[in-house]
Structure 1
Amino acid sequence: MLEVKQVHVAFKNQLILKNASFTVEDSMIACLVAPNGRGKTALLNVICGLVPSKTGGIKCNGISLRSKRRAFLHQLFYVQSTEDLFGNLTVKDHLRYVKKMWQSTIDITKVLTRVELTNSQNKQIQQLSLDKKQQVLLAMAIVSDAPVLLMDEPLNGLDVEATRKFEEIFVELRGQGKTIVFASHQLDSIERVSDKLLFLKDQQILTVENMGQDVEMQYGEMYLT
């Protein structure tokens, strides 16, 4: 379970998050929803300790980021974007690294097959298209076997078929007890897989349960009217 309480973040005198709070339980998918520039990436960076929060606290499975940082970070997996992958290393190099660092027992070969990267496993990252790089990030998250998975725009650059396969894997991971928080502009995907919607508005987080409502309409009411 991921718990975020009273998080306050400012950057260069610009307020980004003000007393933001939410909880995402085990076996749940939550999506951060907002137009660009509203703080989605900033919030993910705060959760994993890349950006400090001036107030409040963050816990993964009861472990505090502030007081037990190392143990906390072992509870989650997050890579900011495909730009943070190492261009001269192969797909398999990345998965081996993650497996070692997270002390995982996940079978890399099976993951490569599941995310359809078997034929690309020995290619350098710099040789891959954007959609393949997104698959690498997903594969790394799976290999980590971390209880909490954070993803920033994981569906960016994917075609319809690839998007649906990502959705299937998200649901599989939820079935394994994972807590997933991802930011996305793909409102149709959000509608299909999310249990919770975390709307970022006015530096606050508004939590809405996904009850099968029209997310695009809700988005429009929240930000376009």
Structure 2
Amino acid sequence: MIELKNISVRFSGRDILKDVSEIFHPGEIIGLVAPNGTGKSTLMNVIMNYINPNSGKVILNDWVEYTNEKNEVKIHQLVSMMPDQSDLYNQISGKEHLKIYSSMWYSNPKLIDSTIKELGMASYINKHTGKYSLGMRQRLCFAMQIVSDTQVMLMDEVMNGLDPTHVELISKILVKKKSEGKTIIVASHLLENLEKYADRIFFMKNGELIHVNALSPEFEEKEITIVRVAEVPDMLKEKISKEFSKISVQHLPNGATLIDVRGYDSENLGNVVAFLKENQITQFSFGKVTLTDLYSMYYQEV
């Protein structure tokens, strides 16, 4: 378990993190979502003690804090951050990188070969990383994080540069690690993917960490709550708003329109469909509010 207690960070008179308090539990994947420059990386660097907060503290397992060098060593045996591609040494092999990370964290050496196999890296793992493609380098960085086998794992844009097949593969590995009791914190711009596997998702804005359920309680609902219309001509937006004036209609900055149909029976849903078809609107679907919808509502301007 890792606890953030009243963490504040200020740079050049601006609050990057403002009195952030949260507890992240074992067996939990936490998603962090925000535009660049809003504090995601700063938060991770505070957890790693790469940045000293102006106030507040990080507490691991209810008692260990960054109060001295001895405690920092203890925490860094239990908490790791996925390396950046710029951290790779081009003149040594991928396997050597994995051996280094395994030895640094005293993890089981058998994890090296099993991780290579799981990520499909066998064909290039013994080559110098200077010959790797962007996707190969990213997979290696992820593999280095996995072989460290720490209790808490921090990952900033883990899916960067990966094709859909490897995005899905890494997602499955994250879920597997969660089942082993790991606490995993992932910052990502791949919202649809993050929504599939994260247990809790937080937005960051104005230095604050905000649980998405606080913005939209229906986000976690499993039943149909909205009709989503992909693209609505401007001249029809007002007509839709008037037709459904008794319920919520939201025209999002990303171009989508959401019609709130919570509690609607099949007859009322049929009336919505009939209205859309009468107005030559055929690109619509039934579902619930998505993370992409919330991102558009919260961060983008019309």
For residue 78 of structure 2, the aligned residue among 70, 75, 92 is 75
**Match of residue 19 from structure 1:** 19
CA distance in 2, matches of 1:23, 1:133: 32
1:132 aligns with 2:136: yes
1:65 Cα deviation (Å)? 2.5
**Match of residue 168 from structure 1:** 172
For residue 195 of structure 1, the aligned residue among 195, 199, 211 is 199
Question: Higher mean Cα deviation, 136-145 or 202-211?
Answer: 202-211
Q: 1:126 to 1:11 in 2, by over 3 A?
A: farther
More RCO (CA 8 Å, sep 6+): 1
Identity across aligned pairs (percent)?
Answer: 31
Q: 2:97 is aligned with what amino acid? A: H
CA distance in 2, matches of 1:61, 1:137: 26
CA distance in 1, matches of 2:53, 2:134: 32
| Aligned pairs (5 A) from 1:36-51 | 36-51=36-51
**Match of residue 66 from structure 1:** 67
Cα deviations by residue, 1:55-104 (Å, 9 ceiling, x for unpaired): 11112223223341110111111134211222222111111111111011
SS state of the match for residue 120, structure 1?
A: coil
SS state of the match for residue 36, structure 2?
A: coil
1:11 Cα deviation (Å)? 2.4
Unmatched tracts of structure 1, length 5 or more: none
Q: 1:60 to 1:106 in 2, by over 3 A?
A: farther
Q: Do 1:44 and 1:150's aligned partners in 2 also have CA atoms closer than 8 Å?
A: yes
For the pair shown, the structure with the greater C-alpha radius of gyration is 2
Q: 1:113 to 1:81 in 2, by over 3 A?
A: same
Question: Higher mean Cα deviation, 31-40 or 12-21?
Answer: 12-21
Q: 2:67 is aligned with what amino acid? A: R
For residue 89 of structure 1, the aligned residue among 88, 92, 102 is 92
Question: Higher mean Cα deviation, 118-127 or 164-173?
Answer: 118-127
Q: Do 1:7 and 1:55's aligned partners in 2 also have CA atoms closer than 8 Å?
A: yes
**Match of residue 224 from structure 1:** 300
CA distance in 2, matches of 1:223, 1:198: 13
CA distance in 2, matches of 1:89, 1:51: 30
CA distance in 1, matches of 2:297, 2:22: 21
Q: 1:92 is aligned with what amino acid? A: K
Q: Do 2:83 and 2:145's aligned partners in 1 also have CA atoms closer than 8 Å?
A: no
CA distance in 1, matches of 2:41, 2:129: 23
Aligned residues: 225
Q: 2:206 is aligned with what amino acid? A: D
1:53 aligns with 2:59: no
**Match of residue 291 from structure 2:** 215
Q: Do 1:22 and 1:207's aligned partners in 2 also have CA atoms closer than 8 Å?
A: no
Q: 1:77 is aligned with what amino acid? A: S
CA distance in 2, matches of 1:89, 1:66: 36
CA distance in 2, matches of 1:142, 1:79: 9
TM-score, with structure 2 as normaliser: 0.71
1:14 Cα deviation (Å)? 3.0
Moved over 3 A (4+): none
SS state of the match for residue 205, structure 1?
A: strand
TM-score, with structure 1 as normaliser: 0.94
CA distance in 2, matches of 1:180, 1:69: 19
1:15 Cα deviation (Å)? 2.2
SS state of the match for residue 118, structure 1?
A: coil
Cα deviations by residue, 1:41-66 (Å, 9 ceiling, x for unpaired): 11111110111111111122232233
Aligned-residue CA RMSD (Å) = 1.5
CA distance in 1, matches of 2:174, 2:133: 22
